[in-house]
Amino acid sequence: MPTNAPTAAPPLPDVASSDTTLRHFLHGLPGVDTVGLEARAAALGTRSIKTTAKAYAIDLAISMVDLTTLEGADTPGKVRALGAKAVHPDPTDPATPSTAAVCVYPDMVASAKEAVAGSSVKVASVATAFPAGRAALPVKLADVRDAVAAGADEIDMVIDRGAFLAGKYLKVYDEITAVKEACGTSARLKVIFETGELSTYDNIRRASWLGMLAGADFIKTSTGKVAVNATPANTLLMLEAVRDFRARTGVQVGVKPAGGIRTTKDAIKFLVLVNETVGEDWLDNHWFRFGASSLLNDLLMQRQKLATGRYSGPDYVTVD
């Protein structure tokens, strides 16, 4: 497990000294070349992965999955079953890696912790009035503290997109720093932008820097609850942002695309983006995750096919 996770507040404190200085910095970031960004993402998606490399990529992708259930009908039993699957994704093959985490609502954290006890699997919890983020800050912070008190290793917060789109950058910054403080020293913070609601690539770049400046340990594309979620282009843009942020500050931040990544082919395209944009330092589940539910099943089927030469089909993996 890498030991250089960001533990201190990011540099450039003067940037957030006022709304004016923060706006000046964010709007001073280079504009995004839409055509160039989408063309590069598409080109990287055509890379061919051979059998040996594919087997490695599948195991790596499994180890990066945040196995997720975020439904109103979630029960402790469902969460415990999901936790068991996260620890042993393929009970017939003990060599199959565990997933990175199980992601649940705050009231399900205790059940998830029980299910993954003794394993490397983390428990992540969405908070801050997920997915809309429409609540007063004290309510959001109470949500976070409840999850951390129940044992959450990671908190996935949503930003106030309304405030961001209205240009109230300091309000968003202050909320992120307050949530980071509520996480204490025991939980890492993932900041969700809901990129499908930010309208432009320039906004995604600004949100990425805003989140990192405020102390995010991860920046995350989406909640998975809107029409447009993770795409190769918006993930590439966020990878470029974390690369440039580390070059400028020395602080490494993780990236989590979430929503819409359902197949092994999709996952491998994203791993190529990581390798070609930020390199091996991010090819680890401490720094890159997939927010996905159905993805794991396809990864397991493809893994079985490589091992046996036969495509087992969906009846041979558990349905989440």
Q: Which residues are catalytic?
A: 156, 220, 256
Contact, 289 vs 269, CB < 8 A?
Answer: no
Q: What's the token pair of residue 113?
A: 């912790």
Kind and range of the H or E run holding 170: helix 169-183
* SS3 of residue 213 by DSSP: helix
Bridge partner list, 66: 101, 291
What is d(CA 311, CA 148) in angstroms, rounded to the nearest whole number?
Answer: 41
98 contacts 86 by C-beta, under 8 angstroms: yes
Residues paired with residue 190 on neighbouring β-strands, in sequence order? 156, 218
Say what angle helices 264-277 and 232-249 make with each other, to 10 degrees.
30
What whole-number distance in Å separates Cα of residue 312 and Cα of residue 320?
Answer: 17
